[in-house]
């Protein structure tokens, strides 16, 4: 089996200046929640009701009750979760496409890095030999909380938020594309949102990596579904 390289976690947390970011009101009614301060890159507690940047990550503990306020909407957040705050906002299909496109630009080479290293480093989804120090998914920060978030969104029929959360995670840690459960959830979410172009391209890339066994069979099946849906339009 071929493998996929992993992108370092902090490499992909590239934020604009705090002043340029929008902020949103959040309220912790119970439990503990923290947000990643884009200026200091430190986790800070959310105390009561306060404003935090929209474009940052939030982590909640067990039994946390956290509400997000946007205009007249009050949006609940998952407990024991790890999520990009902006993903909680409702998006229609076109807005999801826009955000997915933005997320996928993280796969482009970083202009900040030199290409003179022995193995050229590529940001995002790449294929090749998996580095030994990044081969263990259990080393991914807050993996349980990330997966809890995706499951919570899925269970609450927030397929837009589930897809964006899952895609962000898999872009940051491409080794997770080799997890058949997560990859099938990704395919199901594309299907539910009728994003068959994304489904087709995603499965095409994955078939290059692994086309044999149960994983390969699953990817090929979704690729066939995408082709049929696209050609019927």
Looking at residue 46, its pLDDT comes to 96
As given in the structure block, the two tokens for residue 32 are 């503990």
* pLDDT value for 17: 41
Consecutive H or E run containing 130: none
pLDDT at 219 (0 to 100): 95
Locate the DSSP E strands across 61-124.
65-70, 73-77, 82-84
pTM to 2 decimals? 0.80
DSSP codes joined into one string, 172-227: H-GGGGG-HHHHHHHHHHHHHTT-HHHHHHHHHHHHHH--SHHHHHHHHHHHHHHH
Model pLDDT, residue 141? 93
Residue numbers of the chain with a pLDDT score lower than 70? 1-21, 107-135, 233
Cα(90)–Cα(163) distance, integer angstroms: 12
Domain regions of the chain by residue span: 3-178
Q: What is the pLDDT of residue 70?
A: 87
């Amino acid at each position: 089996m071929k493998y996929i390289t992993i992108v370092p976690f902090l490499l992909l947390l590239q934020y604009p200046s705090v002043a340029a970011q929008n902020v949103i009101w959040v309220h912790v009614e119970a439990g503990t929640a923290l947000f990643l301060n884009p200026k200091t890159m430190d986790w800070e507690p959310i105390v009561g009701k306060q404003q935090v940047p929209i474009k940052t990550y939030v982590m909640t503990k067990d039994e946390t009750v956290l509400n997000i306020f946007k205009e007249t909407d009050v949006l609940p957040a998952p407990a024991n979760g790890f999520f990009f705050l902006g993903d909680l906002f409702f998006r229609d299909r076109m807005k999801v496409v826009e955000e997915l496109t933005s997320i996928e630009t993280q796969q482009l080479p970083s202009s900040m890095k030199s290409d003179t290293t022995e193995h050229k480093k590529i940001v995002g989804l790449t294929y090749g030999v998996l580095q030994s120090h990044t081969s263990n998914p259990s080393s991914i920060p807050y993996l349980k909380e990330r997966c809890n978030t995706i499951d919570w969104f899925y269970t609450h029929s927030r397929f837009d938020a589930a897809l964006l959360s899952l895609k962000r995670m898999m872009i940051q840690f491409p080794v997770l594309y080799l997890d058949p459960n997560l990859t099938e959830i990704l395919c199901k979410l594309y299907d539910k949102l009728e994003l068959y172009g994304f489904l087709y391209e995603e499965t095409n890339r994955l078939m290059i990596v692994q086309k044999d066994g149960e994983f390969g069979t699953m990817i090929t099946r979704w690729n066939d579904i995408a082709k049929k849906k696209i050609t019927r339009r």
